[in-house]
Amino acid sequence: MKKIIVGMATCGLSAGAKEIYDKFAEILSGNKKSFNLSRTGCIGMCYLEPLVEVRESESRVLYSRVTPEIAERIFREHILEGRIVEENAACIINIDGEISGPEAEFLKLQKRIVLRNCGYIDPESIDEYESADGYKGVRKALLEMNPEDIIGEIKDSGLRGRGGAGFPTGLKWSFAAGSEGDVKYVVCNADEGDPGAFMDRSVLEGDPHSVIEGMIICARAIGASSGFIYCRAEYPLAIRRLKIAIEAAGEKGYLGKDILGSGFDFDIEIKQGAGAFVCGEETALFASIEGKRGMPRIRPPFPAQKGLWRKPTNNNNVETYANVPWIILNGSSEYVGYGTEKSRGTKVFALAGRVKRGGLAEVEMGTTIEDLVFNIGGGIKDGGKFKAVQMGGPSGGCIPSDLSDTPVDFESIPATGAIMGSGGMVILDDSTCMVEMARFFLNFTQDESCGKCTFCRIGTLRLLETLKRITNGEGETDDVEKLQLWGERIKQSSLCGLGQTAPNPVLTTIRYYRDEYDAHINDKKCPAGSCNPLVDFKIDPEKCTGCTLCAKNCPVDAISGNPKENHVIDNSICVKCGKCITSCQFGAVYKS
């Protein structure tokens, strides 16, 4: 039977997926034959939403940018008459996994382990999860393996934490397993605070059971009876689907007392965070779950000895847990076949910024930045020139285009001065000013500093003030040296990862784009034409038609000219608000 599946993760829903789902429901209700209508999570091609799949036993056809009218055509032509609607078919995947269609390149280079069910099953149906081998990992771990075997398997897989630091997961579990304690906890970090990152949200919205299953296996390995998922309240759909999944898993006997008759008890609660970035740091996260203000604490003692409520605790990221059932079921020997020697497996990246195909992509570790930006991402939008990628969010750094052959793994990325981070990848083109980029991230980290350490609290403020001056055209000759010195001091003297990494965006942009800093400071120019105080607004007489719109919209009357004649801007009056650029329909206003 043909099945119609609508992509209904947050980005699909915001692009109108609910309307499309309702349209199909309406069409199907008036039809005598029975067809199957279902929903799924993030398919990955967020740039083509709303997405609809028509699934048959022999093929899957992905339709993009579906409107209610296109939905009607899909139903009439594809469902009833068996003809694919070619204009809207983004990809066709046949039974052997061969992919064709105009957007095929987006999927071809990917290897889906974490996202194995995302965009494939209905995240609100435990039956669909089970049909996709779901909970077989728990069955195997609880009924056929002892805790040492489980930890051994995870160690052998080489899995490293996907929350940013890449700590070996099996080793971390062995610490918690070896700690004495009457009560132990398993925590899942779903705080995902990096601007531009949406990997964890997509996994939770698209395949919540995989994370729950990973947590149950971990609990068994370390001897925990209670688990928490710390998820930011800004992710209401992820929370809703997690709640549905936890309830369904309880009803089926995967959570609760005597799971699958193994004698092992484990339950999971959801704790909603209020969106403070620092609460993603695990000790601050524990404080927040405990009902205290989310502030990091000194380590040691480490969470494996004294974590949540000072009890032995294992905390992992969403993506880390989602890998676990796959490894237990398929074996570490299969997992080590993917990735590089020191960074095994795959990594999910959220491609954002100036790339043509923005979305979610999972690739083997060791795939190059170039592959991600050009082969998967389709290159730069609007004919722009690739300048750099910003990886790792506010803790990360910028990697310039001439290092685009760098493989993405836990060794190669830090060698550039950036960090792997949790998978946010913002692609920048030549219209991006790197000093402004550093200022943007410093603004974020300065705002989010919890204030406990002097170097982070005051140091980030000094960095931010200096960057603001530079982008305002008030930079001084020794500013770069000061930024470097203070940046290093903040890194060395901060208690938690927020302060230890906050200077990274500044330090990497100085390392690779020193000339842009010098141009701002010495020549009072912004080479990218992005910092408004350092550019003049001008009108191209060849393009201006004298329509007068810019003059009417200028708040300070800086534009003069008679109707149907060339207009001119007086830059001594102009306050650089940019309204003339947006109001000119002829592209005559430019910055120089």
Ligand X SMILES: Cc1cc2nc3c(=O)[nH]c(=O)nc-3n(C[C@H](O)[C@H](O)[C@H](O)COP(=O)(O)O)c2cc1C
Q: Indicate whether 9 belongs to the interface with ligand FES (CB under 6 A).
A: yes
Q: Residues 6 or more apart from 494 whose CB is under 8 A from it?
A: 453, 455, 456, 459, 500, 502
Report the residue from 42, 89, 318, 388 that binds ligand FES according to the rule CB under 6 A. Answer: 42
CB 372 within 8 A of CB 346: no
* Contact of residue 546 among ligand X, ligand FES, ligand SF4, none (CB under 5-8 Å per partner type): ligand SF4
* Contact of residue 311 among ligand FES, ligand X, ligand SF4, none (CB under 5-8 Å per partner type): none
* Contact of residue 42 among ligand FES, ligand SF4, ligand X, none (CB under 5-8 Å per partner type): ligand FES
Count of Cβ atoms closer than 10 Å to residue 155 Cβ = 17
Q: Indicate whether 164 belongs to the interface with ligand X (CB under 6 A).
A: yes
Cα–Cα nearest to 393, from 357, 347, 444, 345: 444
* Contact of residue 365 among ligand FES, ligand SF4, ligand X, none (CB under 5-8 Å per partner type): none
Q: Could you tell me the end-to-end alpha-carbon distance of the chain, in angstroms, rounded to an integer?
A: 60
Q: Indicate whether 350 belongs to the interface with ligand FES (CB under 6 A).
A: no
CA 154 to mean position of chain CA atoms: 24
Phi-psi group of 313: left, alpha or beta (phi > 0 → left; psi -120 to 50 → alpha; rest → beta): beta
Identify the residue whose tokens are 């000094």: 462
Report the residue from 4, 43, 115, 418 that binds ligand FES according to the rule CB under 6 A. Answer: 43
Count of Cβ atoms closer than 10 Å to residue 33 Cβ = 9
Q: Residues 6 or more apart from 524 whose CB is under 8 A from it?
A: 473, 534
Binding mask 323-362 for ligand X (x = CB under 6 A): ----------------------------------------
Q: Indicate whether 317 belongs to the interface with ligand X (CB under 6 A).
A: yes
CA 363 to mean position of chain CA atoms: 14
* Contact of residue 11 among ligand X, ligand SF4, ligand FES, none (CB under 5-8 Å per partner type): ligand FES
**Segment 552-581, which members bind ligand SF4 (CB under 6 A)?**
554, 556, 558-559, 567, 569, 574-580
Q: Take residue 516 and report the two structure tokens written for it.
A: 């842009």
- Cα torsion through 543, 544, 545, 551, rounded to 10: 160
**What whole-number distance in Å separates Cα of residue 344 and Cα of residue 410?**
10
Binding mask 51-80 for ligand FES (x = CB under 6 A): x-----------------------------
**Segment 306-335, which members bind ligand SF4 (CB under 6 A)?**
none
* Backbone phi and psi for residue 36, each to the nearest 5 degrees, phi listed first: -100, 125
3-state secondary structure of 280: helix
Helix (H) or strand (E) holding 533: none
CB 222 within 8 A of CB 312: yes
Report the residue from 494, 501, 504, 508 that binds ligand SF4 according to the rule CB under 6 A. Answer: 494
3-state secondary structure of 309: helix
**Segment 417-436, which members bind ligand SF4 (CB under 6 A)?**
none
C-beta of 330 vs 583, nearer to ligand SF4: 583
Question: Residues in the site for ligand FES, rule: CB under 6 A?
Answer: 7, 9, 11-12, 42-46, 49, 51, 359-360
Question: Residues in the site for ligand X, rule: CB under 6 A?
Answer: 161-165, 167, 189, 191-193, 277-278, 280-282, 315-317, 320, 422, 496-498
Question: Residues in the site for ligand SF4, rule: CB under 6 A?
Answer: 278, 296, 449-453, 456-457, 494-496, 498-499, 537, 539, 544-550, 554, 556, 558-559, 567, 569, 574-580, 583-584, 586, 588-589
